[in-house]
Each structure stands twice: as C-alpha cells, then as structure tokens.
Amino acid sequence: MLGRLPGTLPIGAVHTQELHVIPAFIRTGVRPLRLAAAVLAFSLIGQRAVAAQTQVAPTTLSLEQALALAKENNPAFLQQRNDVDVARSSVRSAYGNLLPTLDASTGYGYTAAGEARFGSVGFGAQPEVYSSSYALSMNMSVDGATLLQPSVQRSQKRATERRVEGAAAGLEAQVSQQYLSVLQARELVAQAEREVARTAEYVRLAEAQLEVGAGTPLNVRTAQVTRGQAEVSLIQARNTADIAALTLGQMIGVALDPSVQLTTRFTIFEPTWQADALVQMALENNPALLAAKASTEAARTSIQAARSSYLPRIGLSVGVRGYVQEAGNLNSLVQQQLQGLGQQFETCNLNNDLRQLVGRTPANCGMFNPSDPSVVDGLRRQMESRNSGFPFSYNRQPLSASLSFSLPVFQGFSRQLQVDQAKASASDAQQQVRGEELRLRQEVNTAVRNLRAAYETARLQEQVRANAAESLRLAQERFRFGAANSIEVTDAQTRLASTEQAQIDAVYVFHKSLAALEALVGQSLR
C-alpha cells in the first residue's frame, strides 16, 4: 500500500536440480543395486523437501518482496490462513449431511464347545461353532438444521475469509511500518557517521591551533569529548538499526542479515486528500469492517438455523444382512437328533399298536429307528450337507427398510434459548459493525490531520536543519580565526545533530502516518 520502486525481482526462491537420468548400472536386475537405487531416490526426495522448506535470506529486499515473504512465512498469519481450509471443509461436510450414509460391516465369531445355558435352564452340550456375518445399510436423517447448515457454513466461510484478509492487511501494515523503521534507523546511522566526521574535523582544527599557539589544551579536550560522544551515538545508532532489521526478518518469517539492502525509497509530497472522501473509501474497503459485516451475515443465518429446531425430523433406513454358522464337530448334534428320532420311533410304534387294534395298516417306523445304521448315516449326511458355507456362503436375510417421522414437542425451553442466543450474537455483531464504522471515521480523520501535520513539520525541519548547518559553519569559521571559543562550536554541532535527527524523524513520521492512513482506507494512496 506504500509507494514502491518498479522493476524489483522476486527473491527468497530456492532452486533445485531434478534428477532426470538414473545410471545404467542402477537399472540392472541385480537386487542389491535396485535397493541402492531406491535408497538414493528417497534421499534425493528428502533433500528436495528440506530445501523447499529452507528460505534463503535475501541480500536485497524491496517492500513488495517483504510483504510477499511475510504472507508466505509469517507463522501467526499462516495459522490464521489455515482456518480457510477448515471453513471450506465445513461447507462440504454440510452438503454431505444432506446425503445418505452408507455402512458396510462384516464379523467373524467363535464359540467353544460346552453346555449352553440361559439362566438356570440348560440346553445340553453344544459343539464349537464358527460364524460370520455381513451387513449393508443406508441411513438418512434430515431436519431443519441439516437443511440450513450449508447456508450457515457458507456464511461462516465468507466471514473466515474476510478475517484472514483483515489479518493479511494488518500484517502488511506491520511490515510496512517496520520497513520504514529500518530505513529510519539507517538514516540515523548515516547522520551519526556525519557527526563523527564533523567532530573529528573539530578535533583536528583544535589540535592545529594548539600547535601554532592559537588554541588551548581545554579546546582540544572539549573537541575530543565531543568526538567521543558522537562515536558513542554512532555505536548506539548502528545497534538500533541492526535490531530493527532483525525484527523485520522476524515479521516476514526469514532470518535477515542486518546488512540486507533495502531498495524501496519514499518521497515526501503534499497531501491533498479530503477526509470525507477517505472516510467513504475506508467504509467500503477496510478489511476489519468487511470482516465484521461478514460475521454479521453469519450470525443472522445462525438465527434461522436455531429456529429450525422447531421443525420435524425425517429418518430413512435400508439394510441387507447375511449370516452363516458352522459347527466344528457334529457328534453332539447328531446325538441330539438321534434322541429326537428315538422319541419319534417310540411314538410311531405306539400308534401302530393302536392301528392294529382298530384294524388299520401300521405305518413304517423304520425311518425313525435310531439303532438302524442306515438311518444314522442318512442323518449325519444330511447334517453335514447343511453344516457348511463358513465363512462366505452367507444366508441372506430379507431386505429391511424403515421410515420415521418425529416432531419435537417440548424440549425444556432449550430451543428458545438457542434462538435468543443467536439473536444476541447477531445483535452483538451488528453493534461491532457500527463500532468499526465509528472507529474508522475517527481514525481516518485523525490520520489525515496527523499526515498534514507531519508534512508541515518535515518541511519546517528542513529549514531548521539548514539554519543549524549554517550556524555551525559560522561558528567553525570564527573558531578558526580565534573569534569564538570551543563551547560555541560544540553548541553549534549539538544543535545541528539534534536538528538532523529531528528532520529524519519528521520525514519518517510522515511516511508512517501515510502507511497508517493507507491501512485504514484499505488501498494504496500513492
């Protein structure tokens, strides 16, 4: 959003060479060489992944490059940007809830041999049993909240995107301010170096006057003290500039060398904007205000979702199942069946005796005779033919389907509570929008006045600095000819250093005020 120099090049990119050719001896059929080739390929992939994550510190840096690097590497901003992916997934999930769910399951069981019991009732000895089953089901449940959830999630996604855009704008403002702070600190370093050079010349002049008898040792000592103070100020100014550059690197997520060259330059110009036009621009473009408005829309949609709890719920379920069971040993089952045949055999013989008494033809009871080997063999073969199919020859069960309809009647006033909470959230969001608008009006008007004051201050400070420089020149001339003492020269140098620093500060107050105003209106003004 600040003025920038054209023609800058992208920096910080990491270039790696891809491996396109694998040597012939690696492509041979020898198994150890194949293993070596795989290890080599994985190691190269790992090296490229590490290289892609390593950001090379640039040696030159423009403001555009700093802003781009910050959006790519600033940890706090990247954490907020991840919320956009979650919001998009939430929208897909909301639409997915309108579709039926499909479930497939299978299971395998084993029951050891022993007596089966239900409470105190015993069912006799049972063989070991192997079982398997499957189930396919489709379920769908729809209510008012489910139908409105896609709209709610879409509005939440828009609000999240607006918040991330606001975070990006805030990051740009912080990086721009810090970029200007680095330039300002380096201007102060240059001023401190000029002051050291001036005081060194002052010392040389005082020593020359002492040698020819026109000066005093006090003048030399005074000049040396002034030079020492200037050297101390230079050390402190350099340290401040290095720290400012390191802080800028922290903001953009790249470890910058303190000597990095900043290529963007800024010029002062007279601001002619009208506050009302800038306020209107801020109300249309300010990221924080747009995010608040998006949150208000999301809150209003949540009211409709809360009211949907009064609507009925419809459920649909369709399922298919299968089951198979196989005994590991049929002896106990055969014995149980033989016992049943024995009872049938006795009943058949008793009926035949009755038939003879009434003169009727007796029935054939031999097919129930448990002592007949052919009957026993037939029973075993029949059970063996039925006792098969494990694990996948399922006995399919009939299709089952159900449709349910439910209407909530009384939920302990919880639904009304949800509606009231949603209304309160929407009202809070609306008040936040109003508060943002009031804040923007006040801050834009303040920023415009601060910018104009900074421009006038910088213009006047330039005149003050020129007068201080002329005052020092006259004091040095008077000192050279013996018409002034060292105190007069020292005072003139101190005034010049102070006015130079004030001029630098005034210039960068102007640039920072302009950057703050651009952050409020949401676009560049240069």
- Model pLDDT, residue 15: 36
Query: Is the pLDDT assigned to residue 190 strictly greater than 90?
Result: yes
Query: Could you write out the DSSP letters of every residue in 487-501?
Result: HHHHHHHHHHHHHHH
* One-letter amino acid of 446: T
- Reference 247, options 155, 300, 164, 180; nearest CA is 180
What confidence tens digit (pLDDT) does each residue in 386-428 have? 777 777 778 888 888 998 888 888 777 888 888 898 889 889 9
Cβ neighbours around 355 below 10 Å, total: 13
Could you give the CA distance from residue 14 to residue 22 in angstroms, rounded to a whole number?
24
- Model pLDDT, residue 52: 38
What's the chain's average pLDDT?
Answer: 82
- Reference 87, options 165, 152, 151, 160; nearest CA is 160
> DSSP H helical segments within 31-74, as ranges?
31-53, 63-73
- Model pLDDT, residue 30: 39
Query: Is the pLDDT assigned to residue 270 strictly greater than 60?
Result: yes
- Model pLDDT, residue 33: 41
- Reference 91, options 288, 287, 298; nearest CA is 298
* pTM of the predicted protein model: 0.70
What residue ranges define each of the domains in the chain, with the CATH number in brackets? Answer: 60-99+143-312+420-521 (1.20.1600.10), 114-141+314-406 (no CATH)
| CA torsion through residues 173, 174, 179, 185, sign | positive
Highest-confidence segment of 21-30, 144-153, 294-303, 431-440 = 431-440
Of the two residues 146 and 464, the one the predictor is more confident about is 464
Kindly state the percentage of the chain with pLDDT values over 90.
Answer: 40
Q: Bridge-partner residues for 326, per DSSP?
A: 130
Confidence at 277, pLDDT banded by 50, 70, 90: very high
Query: Is the pLDDT assigned to residue 60 strictly greater than 70?
Result: yes
Query: Is the pLDDT assigned to residue 287 strictly greater than 80?
Result: yes
Confidence at 123, pLDDT banded by 50, 70, 90: low
- Model pLDDT, residue 124: 65
Contact 338, 375 (CB under 8 A): no
* One-letter amino acid of 439: R
Query: Is the pLDDT assigned to residue 231 strictly greater than 90?
Result: yes
Label the pairing between strands 313-327 and 400-406.
antiparallel
Report which DSSP code applies to 308: G
- Model pLDDT, residue 339: 78
- Model pLDDT, residue 118: 66
- Model pLDDT, residue 120: 62
- Model pLDDT, residue 119: 65
Confidence at 49, pLDDT banded by 50, 70, 90: very low
- Reference 429, options 145, 159, 169, 84; nearest CA is 159
- Model pLDDT, residue 472: 87
What confidence tens digit (pLDDT) does each residue in 490-526 have? 888 889 899 999 999 999 999 999 999 999 998 888 7
3-state secondary structure 192-214: HHHHHHHHHHHHHHHHHHHHCCC
- Model pLDDT, residue 185: 95
Confidence at 62, pLDDT banded by 50, 70, 90: very high
What confidence tens digit (pLDDT) does each residue in 453-490 have? 999 999 999 999 999 999 888 888 888 777 777 788 88
* One-letter amino acid of 97: N
Confidence at 18, pLDDT banded by 50, 70, 90: very low
Cβ neighbours around 269 below 10 Å, total: 11
